Amino acid sequence: MERKHLSSMEQRMLEWIKPTNFYGGECGAISPATHFINNCNYHGSNIGMNHLLGGSLASPASSAAGQLLQFDQTEFGGSNVSSMDNTGYVYIPTGCQDKTTQCKLHIAFHGGVQSKYGSESRTSNISLNYG
């Protein structure tokens, strides 16, 4: 893999948490009450998605604009897999609801509660699948 495809961030105490710059428990603490989301003055999902998209991620939106739909995901494991619920969710931004716009899909394996990708997806036409 070429070095240009790699990105790193030097920060201590980020194990088991999702760092944000706007919500969560104290940075460096294990915070089940906020579903392991911690306010570390580092917007991890935004920075990560921007890297994956080659720097083309639009600025996050401040409010929801789209549809959050439920689907039955038992055929993908459901209750037979301890880390998956029977119900999954897909968020479709308004810009992706007509069939004329080509949109991306991001699959967030940590589920809807811990995933904080929504604000980026609204402005960059990225549908989200929360397992």
Does 21 have pLDDT greater than 80? yes
Average pLDDT over residues 102-111: 77
Does 113 have pLDDT greater than 70? no
Do residues 69 and 55 touch, judged by C-beta distance below 8 A? no
This prediction's pTM: 0.66
Domain ranges of the chain: 1-42, 58-131
DSSP 85: -
Nearest residue to 95 via CA among 56, 66, 57: 66
Does 92 have pLDDT greater than 60? yes
Question: Using one digit for the tens of pLDDT, what is the confidence trace for 53-81?
Answer: 888 877 766 666 788 889 888 887 655 56
More reliable by pLDDT, 79 or 108: 108
Mean pLDDT of the chain, nearest integer: 75
